[in-house]
Structure 1
Amino acid sequence: MDKEDLLNFSCGEDDKENQLNSFFHSDKLFRCDKHHLCSVYVVRRISTSSLLAVFTLANDSIGLLSQEDKKDLQEEVCGHVAEDYNEIWNQQTSFPAINICHLGVSNQFQSLGIGTIIIQMILKIFTKYDASGCQFVTVDSLNNSQTNNFYQKWFF
């Protein structure tokens, strides 16, 4: 990952309010990667090597603090837990997850399905290929309508 590439990367309007651009342009991204808070991934165009997207992933867990929380979760995932695992699942108070911490697609490549491909890849790797113990995928999202709409399409 080239720091110079990230300084030129923009996934939204460049202003003081764009927290995602600010993070991608800062040393925080490299420090978080270096100290294993998250892992940083870049998506490049093969023909030009230009940066299309940047995303970060981190281990996460969903902890249940009350019986009410557990009941809500059980109702929400009812029918998705394998019958032979149901007894163990019902005894869990914490569930391993992977967190999509940051996801930005370059301005010039937005609305082309790149974010969708990244989400599909993450879901497939962590729920189908058993890359690690992962029962859920969580998201830290900027609170704006465009981002919220994107993740709601994926049921986040």
Structure 2
Amino acid sequence: MVDTAEVKYSIRRLEKQESIKSFNCGDADLNDFILTESVFYRDALLAVSYVAENNVKQTIGYFSLANDRVSLTDFENNTAFNRFRRHRFVNEKRLKSYPAVKICRLGIDLSVKGCGIGSELLDFIKSYFIVNNKTGCRFITVDAYAAAIPFYLKNGFAPLTTDDADEHTRLLYFDLDEVIE
């Protein structure tokens, strides 16, 4: 096992038409996205991917981001939505939706799995949208696979609703205001 302190890497945005040649996180869907689909998502202006590379330019992790929102329609009813926003926003800021960024995909190569890089990438994303807030973004969302839910919960994410508690994926969110305070 590699200690996280021993893994030196940098994070960069993939350039247009740039593809990754080798990556294996143990999940075929996540592998396929970064190896083949991320270029198409970028070209269609649907998502932008970022890679974490070690000192020999091997991709050891990646994430893909897209615009999103937390909306009234995400909740089972108006009461649940009002409860969600009541303690976050003053009356004049109570809207029907709030800007968010979605983590479309996040994968860590098997060679460094368990080293804390996934949590470090989440911290990078949080920081990226707090420092000189790029888009007026309040929340980070993710449709987490059931197996990944404990990872996201450990990193401060929470379920948005209870409607999807027994589904294959679950909508989780992180309130960026919690980092600013």
**TM-score bucket of the superposed structures, by smaller chain:** 0.7 to 0.9
- Give the match for residue 122 of structure 2: 119
Partner letter of residue 110 of structure 1? K
Matching residue within 59, 70, 75 for 2:81: 70
| Residues 1:105 and 2:108 aligned together | yes
In the alignment of these two chains, the number of paired residues is: 138
- Structure 1 residue 7: deviation in Å? 3.9
Runs of 4 or more above 3 Å deviation: none
More helix by share: 1
- Cross-structure match for 2:22: 8
Q: Call closer, same or farther: CA 1:151–1:109 in 2, change over 3 Å.
A: same
- Output one character per residue of 1:28-58: Cα deviation in whole Å (capped at 9) or x when no partner: 221001111000111111x211111111000
Q: Give the match for residue 49 of structure 1.
A: 57
TM-score (norm 1): 0.79
Could you tell me which runs of 5 or more consecutive residues in structure 1 were left unpaired when the two chains were aligned.
Answer: none
Q: Is the Cα contact below 8 Å between 2:22 and 2:59 reproduced in 1? A: no
The 8 Å contact of residues 25 and 108 in structure 2, kept in 1 or not, is answered as: yes
Q: What are the ranges of 5 or more consecutive residues in structure 2 without an aligned counterpart? A: 1-13, 159-181
- Counterparts of 1:123-138 in structure 2, within 5 Å, are 123-138=126-141
Give the alignment partner of residue 29 of structure 1, picking from 15, 38, 47: 38
Is residue 2:66 matched to residue 1:58?
A: yes
* Identity fraction in percent: 27
Displacement after TM superposition at 1:73 (Å): 1.0
